[in-house]
Amino acid sequence: MAAGKQSPERDSHFIRAADLFAGEKRYANAEEALKQVNASLIDTPLLARYTLLYATIALQDERYYLARSLLNNEQLSLNVAAMTAAQRRTWHRQRGELYALLGDHLLSVQEYSQLGALLIDHAEIAAVHDKIWHDLGQVSEQALRLAASSTTDQTLAGWYQLSLFSRDAQGDIARQLDQIASWRQTNSNHPAARVMPTSLQRAAETRSDLPRSLALLLPLSGNLADAGEALRDGILAAYYGSMAKGVKPPSIRIYDSSGGDVSALYDQAVQDGADLVIGPLAKDQLQNLMARPVLEVPVLGLNYADEALNPHANLYQFGLAVGDETRQIAERAWVHGRRSALVIRPDTPWGSNALDTFRQRWEPKGGLLLTTTPYRSDQLDYATFLRSSLLLSDSQERAARLQRTLGKNVNYIPRRRQDVDMVLMLTQPEQGRQLKPTLDFLFASDLPIYATSHIYGGYPNPSQDQDLDGIQFTAMPWTIPSLAETDIAPQKPLSTAYRNLFAMGVDAYRLHQWLTLLKALPDTSIQGQTGSLTMGHENRVTRTQPLAAFRGGRVMVAPTVLASENR
């Protein structure tokens, strides 16, 4: 029917054909039909049909930048009122989902806020409000305050204020609920006051069941004493910080778990009246508790047990697992359009574990994974194994063959392999400062590099860290100046590893009130010093960290959305 017709009639037939193909899940055929459409010659209602269908196909195929280009169409953005009611709802929903995927959570909140205003069904409104609340939880406090001070939209301003009130409670449910009650009284006509996010409703239900007595099972002597002390100091810093804000905290008893039977120590803590046990740190001790037939009171272990199955509904696991970071890198890199990763790792169990967890998330998506020869901790020459991994020797051999064939010298520039579009660098700062310049020297300066938080020492060191410029890495919030809490810090200088454990102690204390809620609502998160904390399978608390980047040797939050649309 489209043959021989002129636009816009011709375009209307192609869009109808695409609709029919999509209805049969023949998305490749649908896209071919849509490619025949001259989008510049059709009116807004027809353009909306074209855009929303094409964006649906792009999102299903994980082509996020194509979807962004479609959904940012200027004509549609200026004429949303000309769409049908159903189209407007789909428009805002798709844009909200897309911006959240791309990491631009403030834009996602704006779209979901507009979507909520178009809905009537209470359940649908509640679902949208839960998405808004989740997105707000991913925005830094600094960015949230800036958005609150600059918006002229009163509905958005109310959401921002509600989120800031919630954060002021610093993980204390009782104080948070008091703040929210005050906000609701002042903003009774706000959509969130009428339909509260589910996690806030459930928080009110848990208020009367919060632990009143905590037991800390920590190694305070022996080989793990320094780690145990760092954790203890972080827990107590959060405890006294909460008390300084007028909150009545639970009582705390501290037990040295360095020697003896951890199960007997747990029994002693229960006998002493503990409502929740935090610890132990040692993995074997945690596994001993896991092997008990019954745990009379809940346990928040400060490590992850090897066993895949957790037999206890009230045993929770929290640690600084590198797998949380490599899985997040796999997700973010995929959204950024990367599909083929070269992994550089050390010859250590930590490096092997990080590679395995990245592989588990990357390859099922269809990503290509290439690895280098693992480097040693005392490695001096990085060029040799990187040259081999980048296949520069193949380029040199081709030039040599050509010279032999022609019988004369040939000017050429060595060319690295072209089947890689990113590098995952698993390294500490000292090795990273050598690996990055070596990659640049070997004609790989154009490859985006991702790394875990281990690449940053946690202290500003621009004169040395400028060698890491351009690297994006998962960062613990406490290491980023714009995200770190300034009122809670170690009282004495600590190495980076122990500062990480101090931050983990802060988060462990704040988690003690939220464990039941996080388990009941897996989409709920709380903002911690080690990342955004959620509850995963087998009661494992997982961390999502902001992406940071080195610029001029300094660390800053990485842009949430990449500029390129050619993906």
In this predicted model, what pLDDT tens digit does every residue of 9-65 receive, in sequence order?
Answer: 899 999 999 999 999 999 999 999 999 999 888 999 899 999 999 999 999 998 998
How does residue 348 score in pLDDT terms, banded at 50, 70 and 90?
A: very high
Quick one: angle between helices 154-168 and 122-137, nearest 10?
60
Predicted confidence (pLDDT) per residue in 84-124, tens digit:
999 999 999 999 999 998 889 999 999 999 999 999 999 99
Return phi, psi of residue 214, to 5°. -110, 145
Q: What is the pLDDT of residue 364?
A: 95
Here the tokens at position 256 are: 């040295």
| Residue 475 · residue 211 · CB < 8 Å | no
Q: pLDDT exceeding 70 applies to what percent of the chain?
A: 93
Across 111-139, average pLDDT:
95
pLDDT, residue 543, reads 93
Q: Are 484 and 557 in contact (CB under 8 A)?
A: no
Helix (H, G, I), strand (E, B) or coil at 518: helix
Strands 526-527 and 532-535: antiparallel
Q: How many CB atoms lie within 10 A of CB 186?
A: 11
Residue 481 has pLDDT above 60, yes or no: yes
Q: 547-551 and 472-474 as β-strands: parallel, antiparallel, unpaired?
A: antiparallel
Beta strands in 375-451 (DSSP E): 422-425, 449-451
Sign of the CA dihedral 216, 221, 227, 233?
Answer: positive
Query: Mean pLDDT, to the nearest integer, of 219-236?
Result: 96
Task: List the strands of the sheet with 299-301, edge to edge.
Answer: 251-256, 213-218, 276-278, 299-301, 315-318, 540-544, 532-535, 526-527
562 has pLDDT over 60: no
- 300 pLDDT higher than 90: yes
- Contact of 477 with 453, CB cutoff 8 Å: no
Query: How far out from the chain centre does Cα 467 lie?
Result: 25
Quickly state the pLDDT bin for 393 (edges 50, 70, 90). low
The reported pLDDT for the residue numbered 564 is 44
CB atoms within 10 A of CB 201: 12
d(CA 89, CA 319): 41
Of 105-119, 177-191, 509-523, highest mean pLDDT? 105-119
The encoded tokens of residue 189 equal 């006509």
Confidence band for 561, pLDDT divided at 50, 70 and 90: low
Cα separation of 209 and 521, whole Å? 17
- Are the C-beta atoms of residues 123 and 195 closer than 8 Å to each other? no
* pLDDT bucket at 548, cuts 50 / 70 / 90: very high
pLDDT of res. 259: 81
pLDDT value of position 566: 37
Rounded to the nearest integer, the mean pLDDT of the chain is 89
pLDDT at residue 397 in the model: 54
Dihedral sign of CA atoms 375, 378, 384, 390 in order: positive
Work out the average pLDDT over 220-244: 93
Q: What is residue 567's predicted lDDT score, i.e. its pLDDT?
A: 38
In terms of pLDDT, which residue wins out, 477 or 208?
477
Residue 563's pLDDT band (cuts 50, 70, 90): very low
Residue 386 is predicted with a pLDDT of: 86
Rounded Cα–Cα distance for residues 460 and 135 (Å): 29
Edge to edge, the sheet with strand 340-344 lists 368-371, 340-344, 422-425, 449-451, 472-474, 547-551, 554-557
Burial letters for 223-232: b for 16+ Cβ neighbours within 10 Å, e otherwise? ebeebbbbbb
For range 280-290, the mean pLDDT: 95
Mean pLDDT of 337-354: 94
Beta-strand ranges (E) seen in 211-298 are 213-218, 251-256, 276-278
**What pLDDT is attached to residue 367?**
95
Residue 300 main-chain phi, psi, to 5 deg: -110, 95
Lowest-confidence segment of 91-95, 274-278, 387-391 by average pLDDT = 387-391
Would the pLDDT of 496 be above 80?
yes
What SS3 state is found at 194? helix
- Percentages of the chain per state (helix, strand, coil), in multiples of 5: 55, 10, 35
Give residue 307's pLDDT.
65
Please tell me the predicted confidence (pLDDT) of residue 124. Answer: 97
Distance CA 473, CA 325 (A): 9
Taking CB atoms within 8 Å and a gap of at least 24, the contacts of 243-246 are 245/170, 245/172, 245/175, 246/175
* pLDDT-based confidence at residue 413 (cuts at 50, 70, 90): low
User: What is the C-alpha to C-alpha distance for residues 36 and 44, in angstroms, rounded to an integer?
Assistant: 18
Q: In the structure encoding, which two tokens stand for residue 146, read together?
A: 């800036």
The model's confidence at residue 399, banded by pLDDT at 50, 70 and 90, is: very low
Catalogue the E-assigned strands of 124-264: 213-218, 251-256
Token couple for 208:
């009367």
For residue 190, what pLDDT is reported?
97
* pLDDT at 404 > cutoff 50: yes
- What average pLDDT does this structure show over 536-554? 93
| pLDDT confidence of residue 141 | 84
Judge contact between 374 and 345, C-beta under 8 A.
Answer: yes
